[in-house]
Amino acid sequence: MIKVLIIEDEIPAQRLLKETLQEIIIKTEVVGCANSIKSAINWFTNNPHPEIVLLDIQLSDGLSFEIFKQIKIDSMIIFTTAYDEYTLQAFKVNSLDYLLKPIDKEELQTAFEKYNRYNKKISTEQYATINFNELSQLIKTGKSNYRKRFLIQSNESFFYLPIEDIALFHSMQGITFAVTFEKREYPVNFSLESLKEQLNPDFFFKVNRQYIVNINAIKKVHSYFNRKLKLEIKPTYIHDILVGKDKASAFKKWIDR
């Protein structure tokens, strides 16, 4: 039984993590929850440290790196965050794993399987060497070589499509299309999951399994049935684009950066 502490400032997200932990094959026990830097430090001070901490990066009272500046943690860390993938590569050497919100059950299980495979090989001293000042700065200023354009082939010719011209990407029957602000559609040779890693997360968000949307294409966001969100975009699109209730919180944070 792996003991787990959840540090997450949103109660619905805490609850969802608990439910997801119950769904994975590996047996876990949630020994506590904290929702701020202050409450996390208090918990670590007064309790035995668990094997794993599920740690959100941005808490209600600041970046969670502040916890490590004030107290030594004897646990392995799985970051759970809405921050972009490139910045989080910095943590992979010093942490067990990172998971992007909304947390996927299979990815969570993989992270715990990694713990089972390597927990005897990885000493907790590794975690004491993390320079959280540098990582905190990286979160604020980190940059990546995100994709700037796509090569589009048309009959016997080709041209490039600038990323800023693309309003959204959608997947249909295994084919991914880039839709421009001028309502033109072009097939691209990438899955949405692959594109998510190539696109700047300041501008693009994967709202569901079928769509990645450019923030400049979002005109309004409407509340929808069962706590979903419905996007009103420009140019007008023939299909409804919905943000599921499991992604609604992360989507709102993305909008409010």
DSSP letters spanning 134-198 = HHHHHHHH-------EEEEEETTEEEEEEGGGEEEEEEETTEEEEEETTS-EEEESS-HHHHHHH
Superfamily for 149-255? LytTr DNA-binding domain (2.40.50.1020)
Burial status of residue 118 (CB atoms within 10 A of its CB: 0-12, 13-18, 19 or more) = exposed
Collect all residues with Cβ–Cβ distance below 8 Å to 110 and sequence separation of at least 6.
Answer: 97
- In angstroms, the CA 217 to CA 196 distance is 17
- In angstroms, the CA 37 to CA 64 distance is 6
> How many residues make up the chain in this entry?
257
Whole-prediction pTM:
0.51
- pLDDT tens per residue, range 167-218: 999 998 889 999 999 999 999 988 888 898 889 999 999 999 999 999 999 9
User: H/E element holding 207?
Assistant: none
Mean pLDDT on 7-20: 92
- pLDDT tens per residue, range 83-132: 654 354 445 434 677 787 778 888 898 889 888 876 655 444 454 455 56
* 71 vs 82, higher pLDDT: 71
Q: Which fold has domain 2-141?
A: Rossmann fold (3.40.50)
For 131, the 3-state DSSP assignment is: coil
Domain assignments of the chain as residue spans, ordered by start: 2-141, 149-255
For 122, the 3-state DSSP assignment is: coil
The torsion angles phi and psi of 5, rounded to 5 degrees, stand at -110, 135
End-to-end CA distance of the chain: 38
